[in-house]
Structure 1
C-alpha cells in the first residue's frame, strides 16, 4: 500500500515541476526531420487514461506522426488552465471542469471521448467508501460528516451530492474536503475523513483495506455517464486542425483497443502508477466508448447548475465535438 501511495504522490509532484516551467517553451515541436510532432498532454494518474499509454505503445499515435509527452496532475480543474495557457496542447478533464470553463467563457473544446461509467452500481470504477467498521451504511448518513473528493465544486462532489439526495439526505449538510486520490486511502484508514469518493486504483486500494462501498455516485448521476473527455484550446484547434484530427483518430483507435484488451490495460497502468499486483487485480475497469453520451452530459449539466457550479449554463454544442 505504501508503494502505491508513494508512486501516485510522485505523479502529483510532477505537476508542480511542470507548472513552474515557462509557457513559452510548451508549444508542440517537430523532430529535425519534420516527421514527428510532439504534443504535451495533461492527464491524471488514474486508470481512465490507460488508452493513451496503450496507444503510444501500440504505435497508434506514432503512425500518425504524433508523440505524446504526458504530465500528471491532480484533477481536470488543474489541467484546464494548463491547456489554455499553452503549457499543454491537449488535456484530460472531467466533464464538469470543462462545463465550468465554458460557462466562464474559457476557450476550450472537447475533441475526443475519454472515459465512461460502467453503469452498474457496486461495480463501477468510481465509488463512495467508508472505513472498515464505520457506522455509516447509507449516503444519507453523510450529513454532518467529512467526505473527501479530489477537487471541490467538481464532478465527484456533484455525484456524491446526487447519491445523498437519492438516499433521502441533504447534500448541503455534507462537509466536502479536497484530497488527492493517492492520499485518500491513508486519510480514510486514520479516520481523518468519514468517507471518500475515489476512482481506480485508489478505490481498489481502500477496499483492500476493508473499506465498504455505500454508493456508486457516477452511476447515480446517469447510467452511462460520460465522465471525462480529451480537449484542447479553441485557438490551438483553429491553428493546428491537422494535429487535432490525427490526435482524435489515434485516440479513437486507442479507446477501442483498451476496451478490447483489459489485461493489457491492467499491465500498462503499472507503468505510470506502480500499482501493486494485489491492488491491480482488484481494480474495476471503466468503459471506453467511441463517443460521448450526450444525454448523460445534459443530466450532469443540470445537476451542476442546481449545485451552483455556474449561473449560466454552458453551450454544449460549442463544447462538444
Structure 2
C-alpha cells in the first residue's frame, strides 16, 4: 500500500527523507550501552500505518535507546524485500503481514516481527461506491467487480471474511488490481463497480466524488482488530543484533502507545511524511496502533490466509515474533 503526493497522487509520490538521530542516554533503556549496532536502516512506507516510527523520531525515543535511525522511503513494502534479505535494510516499517507471511511460507524470507504497525479499525478501510450506484450492501457485490490495490492481499482477504460473515459467497465477487490513487477515476469511468479503499483515499473519494461506504472494512467480528502491518525484520538481524532489535522494539512500542492514546501525536507527524495537509490528516479515519503484538489476532490473520488459499500450510505465528531477552 502507498499514498498519493497530493490528495490525488500521494501514494506513489515518495519524498526522500533521511532522519539520522544521534544517541544519548535515557531512563529505563540501555542508553546505547552494549548495543551491537547503533545505526538501524528502516525502509518506510508513506502510510498512516507508520505513524509510530515518525512519532518515535520526533519524541527522540530512538535517541533514548542509543539508536540512530536512517529512514529510506519506499512506495511498496515488497520493493524493499530484496534489500531486507541482503541486509541493506534492517527493518521494513508498514510492511503488510500478508505479503511477508507468504514470503516466509515460500522460504524466501526468514521473518521476524519486531512490533505491530496498524490494525483494522472502523472505517479505516471500506468498500465505496458512487452515490447513484445500485450497490447498497455486501450482498449487492455478488457478480460485481471490486478494485483492490493488490489482489490476494489484505483487502481481498478481509473483505472475503466480511462477505462470508454476511452469507455472501466471495467466489461471486471479482477483484481487479488498481493502485489506490487511480481508484476514483476507475470508479467514475465504470471500470469497476466498487472500490475497497484505505485512508486517506476513502476520505478523498468521499469528498471529491460523494462516494458512499457501503461496507465498513475495519469493523465487525470477522475483521475487528485484524492486524494489517508491522515492523518486520529477519532472523539473521535479530540473532546477530538482539540488543539492537530490542532497543528498536522498545522505542516503537512507546510511540505506538502514544499514537493509540493521543490522536494529536499522529496528526502532528502525518503531513510531513505522508504528504497530507493538516486539515486532511485530522479528518482521516485512523487505524488502531497496537502497542504490542496481538498473537491471537495475528494467528487469525494467518488462518484466514490458509482458508483463502494464500498459504498452503498453517503457520504458527508465535515462532515469528521477536521476544527480547529481559534486561
TM-score, normalization by structure 1: 0.84
User: 2:46 matched to which residue of 1?
Assistant: 45
**Aligned pairs for 1:272-287 within 5 A:** 272-287=273-288
Do the aligned residues in 2 keep the contact of 1:40 with 1:69 (CA within 8 Å)? Answer: yes
> Which whole-Å CA distance do the structure 2 matches of 1:254 and 1:275 have between them?
20
> Out of 96, 115, 120, which is 2:118 matched to?
115
Do the aligned residues in 1 keep the contact of 2:124 with 2:286 (CA within 8 Å)? Answer: yes
**Aligned pairs for 1:1-321 within 5 A:** 3-11=6-14, 37-91=38-92, 92-105=94-107, 106-118=109-121, 123-209=122-208, 210-220=210-220, 221-321=222-322
SS in 2 for 1:134: coil
Higher helix residue share: 1
> Which whole-Å CA distance do the structure 1 matches of 2:81 and 2:127 have between them?
25
Gapped runs of 5+ residues in structure 1? 15-28
Aligned-pair distance for 1:30? 10
Task: Compute the RMSD of aligned alpha carbons.
Answer: 2.8
> Which whole-Å CA distance do the structure 1 matches of 2:319 and 2:141 have between them?
37
> Which whole-Å CA distance do the structure 2 matches of 1:179 and 1:243 have between them?
38
Report Cα offsets for 1:2-41 as digits up to 9, x if no partner.
8322333212x87xxxxxxxxxxxxxx998xxx8933222
> Which whole-Å CA distance do the structure 2 matches of 1:50 and 1:83 have between them?
21
SS in 1 for 2:271: helix
Gapped runs of 5+ residues in structure 2? 23-31, 323-327
Report Cα offsets for 1:24-60 as digits up to 9, x if no partner.
xxxxx998xxx89332222322211111111101111
Do the aligned residues in 1 keep the contact of 2:21 with 2:62 (CA within 8 Å)? Answer: no
Which one is further off, 2-11 or 239-248?
2-11
Do the aligned residues in 1 keep the contact of 2:302 with 2:317 (CA within 8 Å)? Answer: no
> Which whole-Å CA distance do the structure 2 matches of 1:262 and 1:201 have between them?
16
Q: How many residues align?
A: 302
